[in-house]
Amino acid sequence: MKAVYFAWVRERVGKSEEEIAPPAEVKSVADLLAWLKGRGEEYEHAFEAAKIIRVAIDQTHVKHDVLIEGAREIAFFPPMTGG
């Protein structure tokens, strides 16, 4: 699946998007956040406060307990500050 990052999550990870292939035991958004956090220093920094990270699957907001199965694009970003 494609992971996309925005705002300070993007800056901390150091890229705006990438292909990721989490293992089968990564089932929910919360699992994925924990898995991403373990991928290295920059991910550790980006996902240190995983609870505040907002997530969208295929461009729709989702909560952290949602399952990621079938997701094509999963986005990670801080709380929004538009308007």
Partner 1 sequence: MSTTIRIQREDFDPQAEADALTRGRNDVGALTTFTGFCRHEAGALSALELEHYPGMAEKELQRIADEARARWPVQGITVLHRYGKIVPGERIVFVAVSGAHRGQAFAACEYIMDFLKTSAPFWKREHKVDGSSGDWVEAKDADDKALERWK
- Residues near partner 1, by CB under 8 A: 4, 6-8, 56, 59-61, 75, 77-83
Give least dist CB 13 to partner 1, A: 14
Give least dist CB 49 to partner 1, A: 12
Give least dist CB 68 to partner 1, A: 17
Other beta carbons less than 10 A from residue 75's beta carbon? 21
**2 phi and psi, to 5 degrees?**
-95, 130
Which two structure tokens, joined as six digits, stand for 24? 């089968």
CB closer to partner 1 out of 17 and 31: 17
* Kind plus residue range of the DSSP H or E element containing 3: strand 2-5
